[in-house]
Amino acid sequence: MIGDFVLARGELAGPEAAVFSLDDTEITYGYGCYETLKVREGLLYFASLHAERLLASARVLGIGRLPEAAAVTAGLERLVAANAIPDCNVKLLLYGREGGAADWFAFLLPPLRPPAGSRERGVDCLAYRGERHFPNAKSLSMLLSTVAFREAARLGAWDALLVNRRGELTEGTRTNLFYLDPTRDGVLYTPPAVDCLSGITRHTLAEALAERGVRVEERRLTLGEASSAALSLFVSSTSSLLLPVRRILDGDTAVDLPLDARGADYEAMYDAYLAAYVRRLRSGAD
């Protein structure tokens, strides 16, 4: 945690407000959801989209008496302004309370950035068998993701890609997945939203590419197809944007994947989209 202030139920407070009791079962059992936002050059990115998804996740989990999305957004903006840290991430947490209003908090963390050169060289990802509970909710039930990510990190990989019971790649522990199929020109594919958490970058990237005439379609992808060395894979997240996948690690096997030149074009399109978004933020139009 960094900064002098946290947000506790919409109000600015000192870090001591972010303390909980060990017998608080809603927290210790992970009955809640979260979002991670980014602040760059003092600007908070896509606050309203993150607030709306937080509340959508809460509804999937059956959490009631939720704050209004506008109140969450306004609180996040106050938190960022009060701390005045130009580059950071914001962790937003919401917990269900039996018989009471949901608790929600936010605090700042150091920014997360991919290794230098990742956009050019790509990153390694580990294939990991497992499915998240409530895949359409960004829940605090993070055991699978934590174990998978730590195994990926142990092997020097950027993320772990989850493989469901049908042998399909669905998402990363902190990323969404995209891929190009050389037999289907002109389309960027992504696993269906029903099987994964649709990230804010997944959503805005698709919007950015659609503005440039690039089709993004949902289509399932098996690990066998992804390991054929013919497809080009990419992972996306709030902090890393869009990164090509250089290799898939699967047990004792490491499959090298082609780095499709269109990936750099998509990155440039998304960079332009974000630049336009920043101009709107600075003008107060967004």
Instruction: Identify the structural domains of the chain with CATH numbers, from first to last.
Output: 2-109 (3.30.470.10), 118-274 (3.20.10.10)
pLDDT of 191 > 90? The answer is: yes
Q: What average pLDDT does this structure show over 191-200?
A: 95
Give which of 265, 162, 148 is closest to 223, Cα–Cα: 162
pLDDT of 185 > 80? The answer is: no
Q: CA–CA separation, 95 vs 116, rounded Å?
A: 36
- Do residues 179 and 226 touch, judged by C-beta distance below 8 A? yes
Confidence at residue 18, expressed as pLDDT on a 0 to 100 scale? 87
Confidence at residue 284, expressed as pLDDT on a 0 to 100 scale? 81
Q: What average pLDDT does this structure show over 146-155?
A: 98
Confidence at residue 112, expressed as pLDDT on a 0 to 100 scale? 87
pLDDT of 101 > 90? The answer is: yes
The model scores a pTM over 0.85: yes
Quote the mean pLDDT of the chain. Answer: 95
Confidence at residue 32, expressed as pLDDT on a 0 to 100 scale? 97
Q: What average pLDDT does this structure show over 185-208?
A: 94
pLDDT of 184 > 80? The answer is: no
Q: CA–CA separation, 190 vs 135, rounded Å?
A: 15
**How does residue 62 score in pLDDT terms, banded at 50, 70 and 90?**
very high
Q: What average pLDDT does this structure show over 6-33?
A: 94
Q: What are phi and psi of 10, to 5 degrees?
A: 90, -5
Query: How far, in whole angstroms, is CA 87 from its chain's centroid?
Result: 18
Confidence at residue 183, expressed as pLDDT on a 0 to 100 scale? 79
Say how many C-beta atoms besides its own lie within 10 A of residue 226's C-beta.
25
- Type of residue numbered 178: F
Confidence at residue 186, expressed as pLDDT on a 0 to 100 scale? 79
Q: What average pLDDT does this structure show over 216-220?
A: 96
Q: What average pLDDT does this structure show over 272-278?
A: 97
**How does residue 16 score in pLDDT terms, banded at 50, 70 and 90?**
very high
Confidence at residue 76, expressed as pLDDT on a 0 to 100 scale? 98
Give which of 136, 151, 140, 251 is closest to 194, Cα–Cα: 136
Q: What average pLDDT does this structure show over 209-227?
A: 95
